[in-house]
Structure 1
Amino acid sequence: MNIFTLEDIQVSFNGETALDIGRLDIAPGAVTALSGPNGAGKTTLLRVMAGLLRPDRGRAAYMGEPVAYGGGGAGHRRRVSLLHQDPFMFRGRVIANVAFGEIARGRSQSDAEGKALLALEQAGCAHLAERSAAALSGGERKRVALARSLATGAEALLLDEPSAGVDAENTGRMRDVIASLAESGKTIIMSTHQPDWAAPIADVSVRLAYGKIDPSG
């Protein structure tokens, strides 16, 4: 079974078509790279899959069940996490940022921070646990935000431009982390304007242009 299936998806903003997808299937456990120029529809597509943007038309399904928009779909929302291009960090320690979601769900602080530390290790940044979130570089902030998604137990990670605004050293680290997560069974769907950066780890590449899938790839 595909982890995501999108059929006849259309999204418009102010009368302009932003997304027009006839059919897109995403296999579980794979790395899917969405490439294309700015305005191609990559972020819009991720938001539809995350349940944050209801399409004007069409059907989006996660594991065969309709993606829930609005306040419902707790199961889908716990299993799917969107990492924004410029992730927000709370004030305080990195580990508190990563543990926040689990504490909000009622887990004790000690249990949540234990889970957060494991997630930081998966994201390759356990050494940042006690650092102030305000002191993080752009690349470090993205990996910490990725750890925050992992701490929730998400199965599918939607990454919006994970290499954007990051120095060469940290883009390499991020790529290694993504490859490791895919090997562990996570499904990764990432947008990028750097297809050459994504190519070594992408199982599937989908190019978007003007909101549509470009058949030329």
Structure 2
Amino acid sequence: MNTFRLEDIQVSFNGDVVLDIAELDIAPGTVTSISGPNGAGKTTLLRVMAGLLRPGRGRVAYMGEPVVYGGGGVGHRRRVTLLHQDPFMFRGPVIANAAFGAAARGMSRAEGEAEARRALETVGCAHLAERVAGALSGGERKRVAMARALATGAETLLLDEPAAGVDAENTERLREIIAGLAGSGKTIVMSSHQPDWAASIASESVRIAYGKIEPGG
């Protein structure tokens, strides 16, 4: 059974078709790279998969079950997390930011903090737990946001341009983290306009241009 199956997906904004996907399957436990130039439709595709943007037509299934958009889609969104290109951090320490998603999904404060600390360890940011989030570098913010997603227990991660705006050291750390998560059984779909970097991690690659999957991509 595929983690995701998309069929006949179309999304339009102001009458313009920005995403037109005939068919796309994402296998469980894989890292799939969605590459293409800016404006190709990569982020739109991830938002459709996350249950945050209802397509104008088509079918999206997660683990064989239709994705429900709107208030009824809570079950799907508990299992799938989208990490935005520019992750939001609220005021306060890193540990509170990392535990936020866990609390939102019903964990007690103690449970959420314990999960957050484990997740921070996984992404190599345990030493930042008490630091004020506003003092983080761009690469550290990306890694803490990934810890926040992991602390929720999500089984599938959708990463929007995870290496964008990140220095070389943190880019390499992110590559290692993503590869490690895939090795632990997570399904990962990530957008990138850096095909060489993405190819160093991905087991599957899809290229999008003008909202369509290119042949052979």
Interval containing the TM-score (normalised by the shorter chain): over 0.9
**1:90 corresponds to which residue?**
90
Q: How does 1:89-128 map to 2 (within 5 A)?
A: 89-128=89-128
One-letter code aligned to 2:12: S
Distance (whole Å) between structure 1 residues aligned to residue 104 and residue 77 of structure 2:
15
One-letter code aligned to 1:25: D
Distance (whole Å) between structure 2 residues aligned to residue 66 and residue 124 of structure 1:
36
- Paired residues of 2:105 and 2:152 also in contact (CA < 8 A): no
Distance (whole Å) between structure 2 residues aligned to residue 141 and residue 91 of structure 1:
13
Question: What residue ranges of structure 1 are gaps of 5+ in the alignment?
Answer: none
- Shift of the 14–144 alpha-carbon distance from structure 1 to 2, 3 Å rule, reads same
SS of match in other structure, 2:72:
coil
**2:211 corresponds to which residue?**
211
TM-score by length of 1: 0.97
Distance (whole Å) between structure 1 residues aligned to residue 122 and residue 6 of structure 2:
30
TM-score by length of 2: 0.97
Q: Percent identity?
A: 77
SS of match in other structure, 2:190:
strand
- Shift of the 173–57 alpha-carbon distance from structure 1 to 2, 3 Å rule, reads same
SS of match in other structure, 1:95:
helix
**1:48 corresponds to which residue?**
48
Q: How does 1:51-70 map to 2 (within 5 A)?
A: 51-70=51-70
**1:138 corresponds to which residue?**
138
- Structure 1 residue 104 displacement after superposition: 3.4
- Aligned residue pairs: how many? 217
Distance (whole Å) between structure 2 residues aligned to residue 111 and residue 25 of structure 1:
34
SS of match in other structure, 2:71:
coil
- Structure 1 residue 184 displacement after superposition: 0.3
SS of match in other structure, 2:173:
helix
Runs of 4+ deviating beyond 3 Å: none
Do structure 1's residue 150 and structure 2's residue 144 form an aligned pair? no
Do structure 1's residue 72 and structure 2's residue 78 form an aligned pair? no
- Structure 1 residue 84 displacement after superposition: 0.1
- Paired residues of 2:78 and 2:105 also in contact (CA < 8 A): no
Distance (whole Å) between structure 2 residues aligned to residue 137 and residue 209 of structure 1:
31
Distance (whole Å) between structure 1 residues aligned to residue 85 and residue 37 of structure 2:
15
**1:195 corresponds to which residue?**
195
**1:11 corresponds to which residue?**
11
**1:177 corresponds to which residue?**
177
Question: What residue ranges of structure 2 are gaps of 5+ in the alignment?
Answer: none
- Structure 1 residue 128 displacement after superposition: 1.1
Distance (whole Å) between structure 2 residues aligned to residue 34 and residue 140 of structure 1:
23
Over residues 161-181 of structure 1, what are the superposed CA-to-partner deviations in whole Å (9 max), with x where a residue is unaligned? Answer: 000011111111001100000
